[in-house]
Structure 1
Amino acid sequence: MIRSFICFFTLFVSTFSFAADAPLPPKDKFYLFLLVGQSNMAGRGVVEAQDKAVNPRVLMLNKEGQWVPAVDPLHFDKAAAGVGLGKTFGEIMAKENPGVTIGLIPCAVGGSPIDAWKPGVFYPPTKSHPWDDTVKRVELALPAGTIKGILWHQGESDSTGTLAPAYGAKLQDLVKRLRELVKEPKVPFIVGQMGKFDGVPWSPEKGIVDQAHRDLPKQVPNTAFASAEGLKHKGDKVHFDAAAYRELGKRYAAAYLKMTK
């Protein structure tokens, strides 16, 4: 009886381990995309059945560092993590690149200001080091695939009187450092617009950060801006709802494809 149980347990563990790591394609057929920023990149939308649907050619690097099928929530920064823009973006990339597998590297941290995305900086609300943790995940992911893009959505935490004026220069520095991290000086970088919701006025400081996002393609080669015009929030006036995140993923993909094709 005990021997049978041990055999069954061993078989179960080995089967689970096999299932946890998805089989990977050759490196040149595994396109990697880095997902960075704060909560609107991590996603806070309510997860529905469609968000759990598996596409065998869209994978994500999970919290444990395993390549698994990409299903929402992709991120794990906070318990509130839900539907984001990454999965929709990945599915479009897979459709546009037959014979290629897409690998998403979720690294966003809810609430993080851009200054938290520097080496050695500890971010107390999530008890994490946004930049240092991203470095570890990128170093884990790069040997398996080919980096094809960086997606950034952030800015709400910098929309203050003291932080907004310096945001543009910090964003350009971040693009440079992220490109150095992934060892691709010209890799496409897409920045998304903060939520511009009907009936929710923007402060002048938020306008400054938004302008820095809009101006990035004029100042840094191989960058693009994805608009959030007309999208809805989930009721908190800050985060997009699930449908809006999916649409935002489409807009990131459109911006990426326009720039690369």
Structure 2
Amino acid sequence: MKYRTFNLILLLFLCTYLCYGQEKVFPKTREVVSINIPKEKFHLYLLIGQSNMAGRGTVEPQDTLGNSKILCLNRDGDWEIAKDPIHFDKPVAGVGPGLSFAREMLKTADKDIVIGLIPCAAGGSSIDIWLQDRFWEQTKTYPYNNTILRTKLALKDGTLKGILWHQGEADSSPQKRELYVQKCTQLIKKIRYFFKCLDVPFIAGELPSFNKNAKDFNPRLYEIKKHTINFDIVPSDAFTSLPDNVHLDAQSARELGKRYANKMKNMNRHEK
């Protein structure tokens, strides 16, 4: 009888400890916050493209630890403390480059700066979906129009400091990639003109090297750089994929975010 009682007490203790631990390590709640800082201190970064920007990596404890100085615009248009997944384009959304980008940017930012991420990527979307503002069946959205509306909402509180673009898997075939330079250049101009920020940094990510079309697609990005101001490219070498051989695993997605941040910092230094 005493043995059973001891086991029950031990079991209760373990359950309480594990539940508390999981709540501490894997936060279940989303923390909506109010913005009470000057617009120039709230630095906004737009995250657009397709699934490797949205993120498909497996969420781990480190991805759910929030920081009150890193926020994201949620599905409802409210600011909340950023925790992965920050995108919501599909139920499979997971770890992408956005959160690690913000963490890296914050390391060298002035102490009064707050970073706001605007997640707008749409898994599987082609450049035509974006450029022509077409409905995208997979996400049941108009990715370009959604980006415009969400960014306008965010700009009420902050200042747009950069645009991160990772897209191309849907346009990497021989037929589609031939027109990619023209189309992507047009999209960059379209977004910049709409928000009257003609020189805001725009950074694109290469297709990861494990993508069979990467070596033929990625040179198109460097063609864009030749005639587009404040445009740069993040290398995607030495990354590993999920079993689907399409999407970055969580570790690679985090590293991609750091590379975006380092590129953004370099661009900002050159502007000064």
The TM-score, its normalising length taken from structure 1, stands at 0.88
Amino acid at match of 1:223: F
Alignment of 1:66 with 2:78, yes or no, is yes
- Quote the Cα distance in structure 2 between the aligned partners of 1:217 and 1:89: 21
Correspondence for 1:172: 185
> CA separation of 1:25/1:226 partners in 2, compared to 1, >3 Å: closer, same or farther?
same
Alignment of 1:146 with 2:159, yes or no, is yes
Task: For 1:108-119, list aligned pairs within 5 A.
Answer: 108-119=121-132
> How far apart are 1:119 and its partner, in Å?
4.8
- Quote the Cα distance in structure 2 between the aligned partners of 1:108 and 1:227: 19
Correspondence for 1:221: 229
- Quote the Cα distance in structure 1 between the aligned partners of 2:177 and 2:126: 11
Correspondence for 1:46: 58
**Is this contact kept in 2: 1:22–1:69, CA < 8 A?**
no
Correspondence for 1:9: none
* More deviation, 228-237/35-44: 228-237
Residues 4-51 of structure 1: CA deviation (Å, up to 9, x unaligned): xxxxxxxxxxxxxxx523444210100000000000000000000100
Correspondence for 1:107: 120
Alignment of 1:96 with 2:96, yes or no, is no
Task: For 1:1-261, list aligned pairs within 5 A.
Answer: 20-98=32-110, 99-197=112-210, 202-203=212-213, 206-261=214-269
- Quote the Cα distance in structure 2 between the aligned partners of 1:49 and 1:24: 29
**Is this contact kept in 2: 1:168–1:209, CA < 8 A?**
no
**Is this contact kept in 1: 2:98–2:257, CA < 8 A?**
yes
Amino acid at match of 1:135: I
Amino acid at match of 1:55: N
Determine helix, strand or coil for the equivalent of 1:117. Answer: helix
- Quote the Cα distance in structure 2 between the aligned partners of 1:175 and 1:185: 9
Residues 26-80 of structure 1: CA deviation (Å, up to 9, x unaligned): 1010000000000000000000010001111100000000000011001000011
- Quote the Cα distance in structure 2 between the aligned partners of 1:148 and 1:251: 16
> CA separation of 1:111/1:24 partners in 2, compared to 1, >3 Å: closer, same or farther?
farther
- Quote the Cα distance in structure 1 between the aligned partners of 2:133 and 2:149: 13
Amino acid at match of 2:131: K
Residues 118-176 of structure 1: CA deviation (Å, up to 9, x unaligned): 35411112211011111110111111101000000000000123211000111111111
**Is this contact kept in 2: 1:39–1:109, CA < 8 A?**
yes
Residues 171-197 of structure 1: CA deviation (Å, up to 9, x unaligned): 111111111233210000000011112
- Alignment length (residue pairs): 239
Determine helix, strand or coil for the equivalent of 1:209. Answer: helix
Give me the identity figure in percent: 44
Structure 1, unpaired ranges of 5+: 1-18
Determine helix, strand or coil for the equivalent of 1:32. Answer: strand
> CA separation of 1:241/1:97 partners in 2, compared to 1, >3 Å: closer, same or farther?
same
**Is this contact kept in 1: 2:32–2:81, CA < 8 A?**
no
**Is this contact kept in 2: 1:75–1:81, CA < 8 A?**
yes
**Is this contact kept in 2: 1:44–1:84, CA < 8 A?**
yes
The TM-score, its normalising length taken from structure 2, stands at 0.84
